[in-house]
Homo-oligomer: A and B are copies of this chain.
Amino acid sequence: MSTDVPTTTRADWSSDQEVRWCPGCGDYSILAALQFLMPELGVRRENTVFVSGIGCAARFPYYMDTYGMHSIHGRAPAIATGLAMARPDLDVWVVGGDGDMLSIGGNHLIHALRRNVNLKILLFNNMIYGLTKGQYSPTSEVGKVTKSTPMGSLETPFNPLSVAIGAEATFVARTHDMDRAHMQEMFRRAHQHQGAAFVEVYQNCNVFNDGAFGAITRKDARDEMLINLVHGQPIRFGKDGEKGVAMGSDGALQVVAVDEAGVDALLVHDAHREDPSLAFALTRLASGPYEPTPVGVFRDVARPEYAEQAQAQLAAAQEQRGPGDLAKLLRSQPTWTVS
């Protein structure tokens, strides 16, 4: 980003629109985390754009005093891709809910990820449809009883990080709305990444799915239930790091007691590994937010960014053929003169 960026405060990044989420909604803390973080990123408000779809989460852009678009349900990744390709000079963030980005918008999301276009994609996962008053979502657990599934839902939920890695994502992380510092760290890392960065934020919808993540995000539960991934470090958790993750002889990851298995047996987290297999395996460690769940950066690898490459092709074309000459173009097919 450009130098001599004026120093700003949270206030500078807060729009004048009153925030309209339910009291106690997890979206508030995510908003605060970002508004407090932006001044630290050394970016300009005018070069920052938030694009969203539709949903409670998708109201996000209205509250950031940047450029923004509250578009239509599910299409934010596609719209943002066009913007980022047209304007590689901008910081483009995409915000949406689990329905917005994994249900109706699933295809745009996975294509944005494989394209590795320079978008910072924040998925607010509350495992429910909030704005439409509480139907189950693609991340809702099996058997979820909602207005649309009075006898329980039948579909196996998506694991958003598995989907992202299966879709060739270059940056994949997870955080949650109860830990501002961790959210900010993830957002900062995502912002540093050149390319599509996907961050899943566990977000509590206290009206329609209250406590969905309580078992792992409660202060007193975190030590035992959150597995902090740190690149280059053996994967450990528990109050005194007494538990860890190791690769079993059968090639499957498992949680082990460190004193039994020994520290050397622990898997050392390598977020930069080209091969996504291990990162994928880590996404499978917990089958839901009720088992010890990895958070942090699962994957962060370098791959050419889409808009830059497109830009490079334009430059190359001008190199080879000179800047476009309209008169010449109109004469580029066989011509003849009538006098």
| Chain A residues within CB distance 8 Å of chain B | 103-107, 110-111, 114-116, 138, 151-152, 154-159, 162-168, 247, 250-253, 267, 270, 273, 275-278, 280-281, 284, 303-304, 306, 309-310, 313, 316-317
Contact = CB atoms under 8 A, between A and B. Distances in A.
Oligomer copy total:
2
Contacts of A115: 154-156
A303 B114 contact: no
Contacts of A310: 154
B154 A138 contact: no
Given A156-B168, A306-B155, A310-B154, A252 B281 contact: no
Given A114-B138, A156-B303, A159-B168, 20 more contacts: A105-B107, A106-B106, A106-B107, A106-B110, A110-B158, A114-B155, A114-B156, A115-B154, A115-B155, A154-B310, A162-B165, A162-B276, A163-B166, A163-B167, A251-B277, A251-B278, A252-B273, A252-B278, A253-B277, A280-B281
Nearest to A276: B284
Contacts of A306: 154-155
A165 B281 CA distance: 12
Nearest to A309: B154
B251 A267 contact: yes
Contacts of A275: 252-253, 281, 284
Given A107-B107, A114-B157, A277 B303 contact: no
Contacts of A253: 275, 277
Nearest to A270: B250
Contacts of A168: 156-159, 162
B252 A151 contact: no
